[in-house]
Structure 1
Amino acid sequence: MAALVTASTLVLAGLGAHGAHARPLAASVTTPAATAPITAPITAPITAPITAPITAPITAPITVPVTTPVAEPVTAPGKRLRLGAKGEAVVWLQKRLAGLGYRPGRADGRYGGTTLAAVWAFQKVNGITPSSTVGKRTWAALERPKAPKVLVANGRPTRAEVNLSKQIMVLYVDGRPRLITHISSGSGVPYCETAVWQGKSQRFCGSARTPTGDYRTTWRASGWHKSYLGRLYNPIFFNGGIAFHGALSVPLYPASHGCVRMPMNVAEVLPGMLGKGVPVHVRGAFRRG
Structure 2
Amino acid sequence: MRVMHGRSTGAGRVVGKRVLGTLGAVALTASLLAACAQDEPPADAGATSSSPAPEESSPSTDPGAGESEEPGQSEPSAEGGDDDAGDGSDSTDEPSAEPSEEPSVEPSVEPSDSAGDDEQPGKGDGSRGDEHSDGKNDGNGKGNGEDKKDDEPETPDYIEYGETSERVGDLQQRLQDLGYLLTSVDGSYGGETQQAVFALQKAGGLYRDGVVGDATQAAADDGVVPQAQTSSGKVLEIDIDRQLVLAVEDGQVVKIINASSGNGETYEAKGNTYTAYTPRGSFAVYREENRMYSSSLELGDMWRPKFFTGGIAVHGSSSVPAFPASHGCVRVSNSAMNWIWDTWGAPSGTPVVVY
- The answer to whether structure 1 residue 189 and structure 2 residue 261 are counterparts is no
Q: CA deviation at 1:269?
A: 1.0
Match of 1:203 among 253, 257, 271: 271
CA RMSD in angstroms comes to 1.7
Contact 2:228 / 2:252 at 8 angstroms: preserved in 1? no
Gaps of 5+ in 2: 1-155
Query: Residue 51 of structure 1 aligns with which residue?
Result: none
The unaligned stretches of length 5 or more in structure 1 are 1-77, 194-201, 284-289
- TM-score, normalised relative to structure 2: 0.53
Match of 2:184 in 1: 106
Deviation at 1:100, TM superposition (A): 1.2
Equivalent AA in structure 1 for residue 307 of structure 2: F
Percent identical residues: 35
Structure with larger RCO (C-alpha < 8 A, sep 6+): 1
- DSSP 3-state at the match of 1:277: coil
Deviation of the 1:79 alpha carbon? 5.2
What is the total number of aligned residue pairs between the two structures? 196
Structure 1 or 2, whichever has the larger Rg, is: 2
Pair 1:238 & 2:308 matched: yes
Consecutive aligned runs of 4 or more in structure 1 exceeding 6 Å deviation: none
Q: Quick one: distance in 2 between partners of 1:166 and 1:94?
A: 21
- Partner of 1:97 in structure 2? 175
Q: Does 1:268 align with 2:350?
A: no
1:171 Cα deviation (Å)? 0.9
2:228–2:251 CA contact under 8 A, matched in 1: no
Q: Are 1:247 and 2:317 counterparts?
A: yes
1:70-100 per-position Cα deviation (integer Å, ceiling 9, x unaligned):
xxxxxxxx95211111111111111111111
- Name the counterpart of 1:87: 165
Q: Deviations over 1:23-78 (max 9, x none)?
A: xxxxxxxxxxxxxxxxxxxxxxxxxxxxxxxxxxxxxxxxxxxxxxxxxxxxxxx9
In the alignment, what sits opposite 2:193?
A: 115
Shift of 1:204: 4.2
Q: Deviations over 1:201-253 (max 9, x none)?
A: x4343111000111011111112011122210010111121110011111122
Amino acid paired to 1:161? E
Deviation at 1:257, TM superposition (A): 1.1
Find the aligned partners of 1:187 and 1:109 in 2 and give their Cα distance. 33
Separation (CA, whole Å) in 1 of partners of 2:261 and 2:287: 19
State the AA in 2 paired with 1:234: R
- The letter of the residue matching 1:159 is V
